[in-house]
Amino acid sequence: MVDEYKMVIVVRADLKMSKGKMAAQASHAAVNCALAAKKRDPESLERWMNNAYPKIVLKAKDEAELFLIKSFADAAGLLNSVVTDAGRTEIAPGSVTCLGIGPDASSKIDKVTGELPIF
Amino acid sequence: MVDEYKMVIVVRADLKMSKGKMAAQASHAAVNCALAAKKRDPESLERWMNNAYPKIVLKAKDEAELFLIKSFADAAGLLNSVVTDAGRTEIAPGSVTCLGIGPDASSKIDKVTGELPIF
């Protein structure tokens, strides 16, 4: 089986963001990860983009779980980015909303996020 | 008043995507626009990123409205990107799901998208 390259975006479920808010926050994570990969790991970025950029959005139950997943991603050497909301709408300024991971090989990312449910 | 730089993501409301699906599609548009801007308009990208990357998610009622907005964006010389879903989940393969516009000056983008409701 080919080891597909993907990006995972872990979103806090407890903030109960609207669809539009959540899409904006996830987009922020994705842009951070893509631009960081362009600088630090252009080969992964290219492999991901050459395969229709799979992006999977997963649920963290709260901020503590999000940071736990981040610590696993750091330990695994996965590029990742925490998004803190500017707080213009809906939620308190400075709230951590989501975590982007990758793009990287699915097998590597799944070891870190494999237990989280799909959003 | 300072003319803020922003990115707008116009999402088809008629597809009734789940939160996770919509977040993934919007992320795709945002990555396309950010990487295209890095190549073609790095100054706009930098102005946008230096100001907490505002991203606004708006509703198009259907594919026809999305392409109408795209034609306005093209006419205004705004960088934009249409996202077509790979169709692995929820919706038919090849469906157009959203349109990213910018990053560019709010005043310029608002002329194109100003009538659309927030998602």
> For B95, which DSSP code?
-
Question: Predicted confidence band at A1 (pLDDT cuts at 50, 70, 90)?
Answer: low
**Residue A35 touches chain B, beta carbons under 8 Å:** yes
Contacts of A113 in chain B (CB under 8 A): none
Contacts of A26 in chain B (CB under 8 A): 23-24, 26-27
The interface predicted TM-score (ipTM) is 0.93
Average pLDDT score over chain B: 94
**Residue B39 touches chain A, beta carbons under 8 Å:** no
Q: What is the mean pLDDT of residues B82-97?
A: 85
Written as six digits, the tokens of A112 are: 């870190």
> Using alpha carbons only, what angle is made at residue A7 by residues A83 and A100, rounded to the nearest 5 degrees?
10
- Regarding pTM above 0.90, the answer is yes
pLDDT digits (tens, 9 = 90+) for A14-63: 999 999 999 999 999 999 999 999 999 999 999 999 988 899 999 999 99
Contacts of B20 in chain A (CB under 8 A): 11, 57-58, 118-119
Q: What is the amino acid identity at position B10?
A: V
Bridge partners, A82 (sequence order): A99
Phi, psi (degrees; rounded to nearest 5) at A17: -70, 150
- Percent of all residues in chain B with a pLDDT value above 90, rounded to a whole number: 85
Q: Does residue B113 have a pLDDT over 60?
A: yes
**Residue A116 touches chain B, beta carbons under 8 Å:** no
**What per-residue confidence (pLDDT) applies to A16?**
93
**What per-residue confidence (pLDDT) applies to B3?**
84
Query: What whole-number distance in Å separates Cα of residue B28 and Cα of residue B108?
Result: 22
Query: What whole-number distance in Å separates Cα of residue B87 and Cα of residue B93?
Result: 4
| CA of B91 vs chain A CAs: smallest distance (Å) | 15
pLDDT digits (tens, 9 = 90+) for B41-62: 999 999 999 988 899 999 999 9
Strands B55-60 vs B5-12: parallel, antiparallel or unpaired:
parallel
DSSP of chain A: ----EEEEEEEESTT---HHHHHHHHHHHHHHHHHHHHHH-HHHHHHHHTTT--EEEEEESSHHHHHHHHHHHHHTT--EEEEE---SSSS-TT-EEEEEEEEEEHHHHHHHHTTSPB-
**Residue B118 touches chain A, beta carbons under 8 Å:** yes
* Radius of gyration over every alpha carbon of chain A, rounded to an integer in angstroms: 14
**Residue A16 touches chain B, beta carbons under 8 Å:** no
pLDDT digits (tens, 9 = 90+) for A83-113: 998 776 778 888 999 999 999 999 999 999 9
Nearest to A23 among B11, B34, B86 (CB): B11
What is each CA distance from A16 to A8, A32, A87, B63, in whole angstroms?
19, 22, 14, 28
SS3 state of residue B50: coil
**Residue A79 touches chain B, beta carbons under 8 Å:** no
B25 and A56 in contact (C-beta within 8 Å)?
A: no
**What per-residue confidence (pLDDT) applies to A92?**
84
Nearest to B55 among A18, A28, A56 (CB): A28
Strand order in the sheet with A5-12: A55-60, A5-12, A96-105, A80-84
